Structure 1
């Protein structure tokens, strides 16, 4: 579940009075402040968590760190759902912080991609021309294309990265 899915939901919950997530007499300026805190707490925790999760993966292993991040993200999303059921702003912020912190696994994924790419380079199979940073950027571009292109064309978006990787 990405944060892009939650933005409109959190906006309606915090800013609107019809859902009564916050008391109806809460001033609009306070609602704006709470909305900013909820949204920024995820990204601040992501920023901080990426450093700690990357260090943790060096000591316990990448696979274990990835599983830990997935479990943490699941716990964060469960707390977020619980906050919606109980109309608790502080549980919502806590859920966002936990899921943001455990979303910090992106550096691990980038390292794994670079290791796989370097393995391909050593075995003379692919990527003699492309360096790992360009390939990671192209991978990110293909993920972006997947979100833009209609679902029935996903194989086309996936094929871009593999076509670029097979260049010699």
Structure 2
């Protein structure tokens, strides 16, 4: 009987020891890659006060500024940190918008920022009143499509009620 109790005790100790081996908390351990996609912090508003749109896996950002007073929708292309302008050689970027069961496409023309190299632009503007109104509609789904350095990117535009 003693032999069986000893075996049982050793078995229980082994299970407890192996089972709790990974349970200690070590503050020097870093989280697994991809544990949280947005653990790093960056502003939710861009440098021009607009909403940020992720392009790629944060390779770039687009900033959408909806200026109701001027009647414009402006997109600024920004780097991965959403701080510095990224001028590209495109003449336009496209916003694909779906609402009430139908899709529309709006083109925003290049309008170079001061500091953009000749033939390149990091700013794209539309004065289309329909685009401005459609972006504000409940249930509207919008995406920006842009090609940067030969690679196409798409980013979802989230509906917001705060405008300039």
- The TM-score normalised by the length of structure 2 is 0.21
Instruction: Select the structure of larger CA radius of gyration.
Output: 2
Q: Relative to total residues, which structure has the larger helix share, 1 or 2?
A: 1
